[in-house]
Structure 1
Amino acid sequence: MCTPAVASNVVHQAPNKSPAESLQVSPHFAPHQWDTILRRQRSRPKDGKGVKSSSLPSIFVNLSNIFEFAGWGTLDNLSLSPEDLVRGKARLQAVRRARILGQFTASAIAGNAVLGSVFYALPVVVGISSVYAPISLFVACLSMFLWRPIMEELASALPINGAPYTYFNNVANKTEALICASILVLDFLSTAVVSAATATSYLSGEVALPFPTWVGAASILVLFTFLNLTGVRESARLALAMLFFHILTMIVLMIAAAVHWAQTGNEMLRDNWNAGKASSSSGVAHQIFNGVCLGVLGLTGFETTPSYVAKMKANVFPLVLRNLHYPAILFNVILTTSVLAIIRLPDITSGANILSLLADKVGGPWLRIWIVVDAMIVLCGGVLAGFVSSCQLFEQLAHDRILPQFYLRTMRITSSPYISIFTCTSLCALLYASAAADLSLLSKMFSFTFLCTMATFPFCLLLLKFHRGRLPRAPHTPLLLVFATMSVSTVLIAGNIAIDPTTAGYFAPYFIGVFLIFLITQNKARILRFAFWIYDHHTRLHAWKFTKGWGARIINIIATMKRQPGPQIHILSRMLIYAYRNEVTSCVKIIHFTDNEKGMPSELEANAKILDEAFPQITVDLVIVYAPFSPVSVATLAHRLNIPPSLMFMGCPGKDSPHKLEEFGTRIITS
C-alpha cells in the first residue's frame, strides 16, 4: 500500500459502457483483484474523539492548521418524543399564522408606491415625450403583462420573503444571489428616500416651509421608523387607509377633469398637439420610445410585492398584482390625457406639481389642497413600502448568514425587527446625505435600480425552469414569454442609459459599495484564513508584543463563527466532480493500489456505492489493483484497461514521493 505522503488516489475516465455491460452485477473484489482502486486507509478513533486530518501538505508553514479540520462523524439513534412533536407542530402553526395579509392589505403596502408614482412619473414622461406621453405611459403599463405570469410562477414555486434575492439563492450560486440582493437594497432604499423627498418637495412647491426640504424628508423617514416598530399588521392597515384615500382622490380628480374638458372642448388639446408633435415619423417613434423607457417609473413598487409574499395568505399574490396593475393603467393614461387637454404645454413642462395645477384648473383651490394632501399621504406610503421590503430582505440575509444573527431579533410586544428597521433608516439617511439631498440624482438611480430589479425576474425564472424544474408551481410561463421579457428589460435599460448616460454612473458606485460589503460578510471566513496565512508567513509578528496573540485571536473568531474557513471536500469527490465538469464521459473507474487484500480500507466499497449514487450521470466503478503504486503499475493498468495515462487523474504527490511525476503521465487535478 502506498505511503500516506504519496497521493494514492487515482481516478481515470473509462469508455462508455454498453447496455449489456451496464446490467452486469459487479463481481466480488477477491476473485477479481484487478477490478478496483485507490484510497489510503483512514483509521477512526474508537472513542470518536479527535479531528480528521489530511495527508495534503498545509499552506501554513509555521503555525498549526488543526483548526481547519472537523471532528469525526457519529451515528446517533434519535426518537422523537411527544414533547418534541408538540413543539414542532407549534412552530409550524407559527409559520402559518404569519400569513396575515389578505389581498387588500397586501396590495396596500406596495400599492401606495405603485399608484403614488403618478406624481413623479407623469412630469418626467411629458417632459421627454411631449404630447405622446399618454401613448408612452400606456405602452409602459402594458409591459407589466409580460412580468405578471413570471412573478406569479416564481412566487408560487418559492413563496419566501426577500424575493427576488431568495429566488436566486435557490436556483443559482451565492454570488449571483448577492448581486441581486445589492440591487434590491438600493431599490428599496431608493423607494423610501425618493418618496420622502418627493413628498417634501411637493409640499414646498405649494407652501413656504420654515425649514429646508431635506429636514422634511428626514422627518418623514424618522416618523416611519417609529411606525414600522409598531408591527407589520398595523402598518398594512394604515397603508390600506392611505391607498383608499388616494384612489378616492384620483377618482374625484378624473371626474372633475372630465366635466371641465366637456365644457371647454378640445381646443387646448389641439393647440398642445400642434405645439408638441414631431416633424417626422422617426421623431414620433423616438419620442414615444423615450417616454416608454421613463414611463416604467409609473410602475415602481411592483418589484416590492414578492419581498413580503410569505406574509400573504394563500393564493393572494396574483390578486395583488391584478389589483395594482389595472388602476396603474387607468390613472396614468387618463390623468396624462386630461392634463394635455386642459393645461398649456409650456405650463406642464415648466412645473413639477402638475396634478395640483390640474386640480386648481378643474376644481379650484379646495381640490388643489386636497391633491397636495393626497400627494403627501400616498408618497409616505411609498416610504412604508420601502421599509417593509428592506426589513424582509435583511431578515433573509440574516437567515443565510450574510448579515449577523442579531438582525433576527424582534421586539417583544410587536415582534418588529427593530435592528433591521434602524439599519434601514440609517442607510436611507446615508444615501440621502451622500447624494447631497439632490432629488434629481436619486431619481435617476431609482429608475435604473427599478429596471435592473425587474430584469432579475425573467432571468431567475429561466434558471428555475432549468435547475429546479420539478418544483410544483402554477402557472407555467412559456419560455418564449420569458425570453421576450428578458429582451424588453434589456431594451428598457439600454434606453434609459441612452437618454442619460450618467444614470449608470450614479448607480455604479452605490452598487459596488453594497456588493463589496455583502461579499466580505459572505467570505469572512476565507478572509480570516487569508489573514492567518499572512500572519503565519511573517514570523516577526509572532514575537512582537502588539501582534503576538493575533493568531490565537483569529482562530477563536473562526471557532466562534462555527464555520469551517476552508471546508475540505473529500478528495475522491473532488476528483469525480472534476471529471464530471471537464470530461465527456458516462463512466469513471476508481483505482486502489494495494499489496494484499488486508490493505484495502474496509469502507472503500461502501464509499464507492455512495459516490455512485451521488453522481447519477456517471457510472462509478471501483477497481482494486493488487500491486504497489508506481509508474510501472499505472502503465500496466493503462494497457490492461486500454485507457491512455492522459485520461487518468491523481492527486499531487508530495515531496517524499519516491517516483517522478513525469513517469506517471497522469493528470494532476487536486492539490
Structure 2
Amino acid sequence: MSRPLELKSVYNEKDGTPAYLEEQEVSEASQHASRWIAIEPPQSLRNRPRIPHSHSGPPSFRDSQFDVILRRQRMRPTEGGGLKLTALPSRFLNLPNDFEFAGWGSVSRITLDKEDQKAGEERLSEIRGQSVLGQFTASALAGNAVLGSVFYALPAVVAVSSVYSPISLFIATLVLFLWRPIMEELVSALPLSGAPYTYILNVSTKSLALVGAALLLLDFASTAVVSAATAASYLAGEVTLPFPPFVGAISVIVVFTLVSLAGLKESARIALVVLSFHLATMAVLIVSSSIYWGKTGVDQLRDNWYAGSAPSASVAARHIFNGFCLGMLGLTGVECTPSYVGRIKKGQFPLVLRNLHIPAIILNCLIMVMVLAVVPLKAVHEGANVLSVLAQIAAGQWLRTWVVVDAIIVLCGGVFTGIFSACELLEQLALHRVLPKVFLQALPRTKAPYFSVLSFVAFAGVVYASAGADLTVISNMFSLVWLTVMSLFPLALLLLKFSRGRLPRNSSTPLAVVVAAAAVSAVVFAGNIAVDPATAGYFAAYFIGIVTVFTATQNKIHLLRWVYWVYDQYPRLHSWKLTKTWGCKLIDLMTSLKRQPVCILVKTDEINHLFHMILYVRKNEETSCVKMVFFNEGEEGVPSELEANAKILDEAFPEITIDLVIVDAAFEPANVIALSHRLQISTSLMLMTCPGPAFPYSIAELGTRIICL
C-alpha cells in the first residue's frame, strides 16, 4: 500500500499564487527551486511552542492548529474573470455552458478617493436634510385621511349598529392604543420610508415583503379612490351636477395629482391648511349641535333610542360588534404615517400618532352622539350626507354649506395622502430592483417623482374603473385591505423581536400587546366578511393581481429563462433571421440583468456566516455578481481566513461571481455611501448583519438592508 501523498505549501514567485504540489511533483519542483519559495507561518504563530507529535501518523487537530494549511483550489486567473469549469450540462440546446455559470471572482483592495468621499458626504447631508416634517405638518399629511373618515365611516356604522354606534366607535378608536407602541418600536428600530414593506424586508424574505407591498399599494389606491369618490358623492347629494359623480371623482384625482407634482414641502403646507380648516369646521358643528341639543332637550335622543334599540342583549351585542368592525374605518390613514417616516424629524413620530389618535376619538364619538341627539333616526338611515343634515338642523343652511365645502376639501386631502404614501413605496421598490429605475426620476425643480405619481394615479383609475365606478364596492374592499395592512405591523414586530433582537430601539412593546393586536385584526377581518361576504371576493381579486405583477417583476430573469427555453425547443426558429435576432436580444437582456451587482458587507471570516449571506442573495436577488466588502479599520486588520473562504464560496456557487473587496476605511455612513458611489451600487442593495446596541449609526443613514442576525 502506498503512503498518503504529502502536500507541500509553496508560492509561485512569479505571480504570487499558491501552488499545491503532490508527491510526484515534488521532485520536479526541487529541480527548479528558483521558481518556488516556501511559505512561512504567520508572525503570530512563529513564537508559539510547537507541540510534538508522533511520526507514526498524521498530526492531530490540536497539533495542526499551529500549521499553515492552504486549501487546494482550482486554477483561476489571478486578475479574476474566466469561466468556471463544471461538468454540469446546460439545459439549453443552443447555448454553451458559460451562459449558465458565472466567472471567477477577484480579490481587490481599494482606497476611497476625494471624489468618492465628497459624494458620500453630500449624499449623507441630503439624507439628513430630508427630515423636514415637524409633528404638525407630518400629522396633516395623514390627518386629512384619518379625520376626514367621519364623512364615510359614520354612515356605514349607523347602518349596522343603529343607536349603539357611539359605543362601537368608542371601542374601535380605543383599539389604536394597541398599535401605537407597536408602530413606535418599529419606527425607532427601522426609521425607513416605505413601511411596513421595508420592515418585513429587513426581518424576513423579499417575497413576504412584496406581499406587504401589494397590500400597501392597494390600500393607498383605495384611500385615494374612496376619498375622491366620497367627495364627489357629497357634492352630488347637495347640488345637481351637470355630469355623473364618477367624473367628479376623476376630476378630484387629477387636481391633486397636479398638487402632488408641486413637491413635498408645498404639499405638506397645503395639507396642514386643509386639516386646520376641517378641525375648525368640526368644532363649529359640535358647538352648534350642543347648543341646539341644550335648547330642545333629550326628547329626540329618547325617540331614537326606542326606535333603534335591539330586542335583546344578544342582538344588541351583535349590533355593537358589527359597528365596531366597520368603525375601525374611522382610523384609516394612520397606516400611511410610517410610509414617510424618513421625512419626519427625529423623535416626532410618537407625537404624530398622538395628534392623529386623540382627535379621532373625540370627533368620531362626539359627533356620533350629536347625530343621534339631534337628527331623527329615520333621516340618519336615509340621508346620504349625515353631517350636512346635522348642520342643517343645528344651525341652518349656512352651516350645511360650510360642512359640504369642508367635506369636499378634506376628502381631497385624503387623495393626496394616498398619492404621497404610494410614491414613497414605489421609490423603495425601485431601489430594490423590483420596479424599473424610471420610478426614481424626479422633476428638476420640485423634486417630485413624476413617474411614480402618474403611474399610481393610473393604477387608482384602473381600480376605480374595474369596480364599475361603484363607491360601495371600493369602500367594502377598502375595509378588508386596511385591516390586512394593519395586521402587518404586529407581524413585522414579531419577526423583528425574533430575528433582529439585537437591533437598537427606543422602546420595547410587551409581547402580549403584539399578540393582542394581531388577534384583534383577525377578529375584525372576519367580522367585516360576515357583514358583507362579497367584499372578500373583491379583495382577493385585486390582491392576487398585484402580487402576480410584483412576483413577475421580482423574478424577471427566471421568467425570461422560461421564455427562452420554449424558444430553444424549436430549432427552426434559430435559422430564421427575425427570430434569431430576437433570441440574441433575449440572451443579452438576461445577461445584463444577471450582471447587476449586489454588495454584502462582512465583518468576519466565519464561513458559515458568509455562506448564509450568499444564500440569502441567491434566494432573494436576481444577480450573478456579488461584491463581498470588508471595511479594514483599526489594528485588527483583515481576518486571516477571509480571502480563502471567499474563494471557497466562489467555487461553491458556480452561478455567482464573488469578488472580495477590501476597503481601507472606517465603517461609517459617509464611507458606505462613498463606496456606493465608487462601485455604482445603491446602498439599498448593500446587505449587512444586524447591528448591536453599541452601534453608533442609524440604519436610515446607512441606507443598507439587514439580512441576518
Q: TM-score range by the shorter chain?
A: 0.7 to 0.9
Contact 1:137 1:292 in 2 (8 A): yes
Contact 2:76 2:82 in 1 (8 A): no
Contact 2:232 2:248 in 1 (8 A): yes
- Structure 2 residue aligned with 1:164: 196
Match of 1:442 among 452, 462, 474: 474
Match of 1:607 among 613, 620, 645: 645
Secondary structure of 2:483 counterpart: helix
1:32 aligns with 2:70: no
* Correspondence 1:109-508 to 2 at 5 A: 109-508=141-540
Alpha-carbon shift at residue 574 of structure 1 (Å): 12
Contact 2:212 2:488 in 1 (8 A): yes
* Correspondence 1:588-607 to 2 at 5 A: 606-607=644-645
- Structure 1 residue aligned with 2:38: none
Residues 256-305 of structure 1 deviation map (CA, whole Å, 9 limit, x = unaligned):
11111111111111111111111111111100000000000100000111
- Structure 1 residue aligned with 2:660: none
CA distance in 2, matches of 1:605, 1:353: 71
Question: AA paired with 1:32?
Answer: P
Residues 495-538 of structure 1 deviation map (CA, whole Å, 9 limit, x = unaligned):
00111111110111111111100000000011112222333333
Contact 1:526 1:566 in 2 (8 A): no
Contact 2:439 2:449 in 1 (8 A): yes
Alpha-carbon shift at residue 539 of structure 1 (Å): 2.1
Secondary structure of 1:76 counterpart: strand
CA distance in 2, matches of 1:391, 1:318: 23
Secondary structure of 1:548 counterpart: helix
- Structure 1 residue aligned with 2:90: 58
Contact 1:525 1:563 in 2 (8 A): no
CA distance in 1, matches of 2:284, 2:76: 79
Alpha-carbon shift at residue 566 of structure 1 (Å): 14
CA separation of 1:220 and 1:605: change in aligned 2, threshold 3 A: closer
CA separation of 1:554 and 1:65: change in aligned 2, threshold 3 A: farther
- Structure 1 residue aligned with 2:681: none
Alpha-carbon shift at residue 475 of structure 1 (Å): 1.4
Contact 2:278 2:410 in 1 (8 A): yes
Residues 192-232 of structure 1 deviation map (CA, whole Å, 9 limit, x = unaligned):
01100000000010011111111111111111111111101
Contact 2:335 2:486 in 1 (8 A): yes
Higher relative contact order (CA 8 A, sep 6+): 1
CA separation of 1:91 and 1:280: change in aligned 2, threshold 3 A: same
Alpha-carbon shift at residue 55 of structure 1 (Å): 3.0
List runs of 5+ in structure 2 lacking aligned partners.
6-49, 600-606, 617-640, 653-709
Secondary structure of 1:56 counterpart: coil
**Alignment coverage as a number of residue pairs:** 565
Contact 2:263 2:446 in 1 (8 A): yes
Contact 1:180 1:456 in 2 (8 A): yes
Contact 1:202 1:353 in 2 (8 A): yes
CA distance in 2, matches of 1:401, 1:204: 43
CA separation of 1:211 and 1:28: change in aligned 2, threshold 3 A: farther
Greater mean deviation of Cα atoms: 548-557 or 483-492? 548-557
CA distance in 2, matches of 1:302, 1:350: 30
CA distance in 2, matches of 1:47, 1:182: 43
Secondary structure of 1:169 counterpart: helix
* Correspondence 1:558-597 to 2 at 5 A: 558-563=590-595
Contact 1:119 1:375 in 2 (8 A): yes
Contact 1:525 1:564 in 2 (8 A): no
CA distance in 1, matches of 2:84, 2:370: 75
Contact 1:68 1:564 in 2 (8 A): no
Secondary structure of 2:266 counterpart: helix
CA distance in 1, matches of 2:52, 2:564: 49
CA separation of 1:379 and 1:440: change in aligned 2, threshold 3 A: same
* Correspondence 1:503-518 to 2 at 5 A: 503-518=535-550
Question: AA paired with 1:278?
Answer: A
Alpha-carbon shift at residue 474 of structure 1 (Å): 1.9
Structure 2 length-normalised TM: 0.75
CA distance in 2, matches of 1:189, 1:77: 48
Secondary structure of 1:122 counterpart: helix
Secondary structure of 1:247 counterpart: helix
* Correspondence 1:49-128 to 2 at 5 A: 49-128=81-160
CA separation of 1:605 and 1:273: change in aligned 2, threshold 3 A: closer
Alpha-carbon shift at residue 47 of structure 1 (Å): 4.3
Residues 580-600 of structure 1 deviation map (CA, whole Å, 9 limit, x = unaligned):
99xxxxxxxxxxxxxxxxxxx
Contact 1:168 1:460 in 2 (8 A): yes
Greater mean deviation of Cα atoms: 384-393 or 50-59? 50-59
CA distance in 1, matches of 2:371, 2:159: 13
* Correspondence 1:538-553 to 2 at 5 A: 538-553=570-585
CA separation of 1:365 and 1:167: change in aligned 2, threshold 3 A: same
Structure 1 length-normalised TM: 0.80
Contact 2:107 2:643 in 1 (8 A): no
Alpha-carbon shift at residue 90 of structure 1 (Å): 1.1
Question: AA paired with 1:409?
Answer: Q
Identity %: 56
Contact 1:125 1:291 in 2 (8 A): yes
Question: AA paired with 2:58?
Answer: H
Residues 177-203 of structure 1 deviation map (CA, whole Å, 9 limit, x = unaligned):
111111111100000011000000000
Alpha-carbon shift at residue 45 of structure 1 (Å): 1.6
1:520 aligns with 2:552: yes
Secondary structure of 1:403 counterpart: coil
Alpha-carbon shift at residue 493 of structure 1 (Å): 0.3
Secondary structure of 1:549 counterpart: helix
- Structure 2 residue aligned with 1:42: 74
CA separation of 1:26 and 1:205: change in aligned 2, threshold 3 A: farther
Alpha-carbon shift at residue 84 of structure 1 (Å): 2.8
CA distance in 2, matches of 1:231, 1:163: 21
1:530 aligns with 2:557: no
List runs of 5+ in structure 1 lacking aligned partners.
3-24, 582-602, 615-671
CA distance in 2, matches of 1:325, 1:605: 54
Residues 300-353 of structure 1 deviation map (CA, whole Å, 9 limit, x = unaligned):
000111100000000111110000000000000000001001111111011120
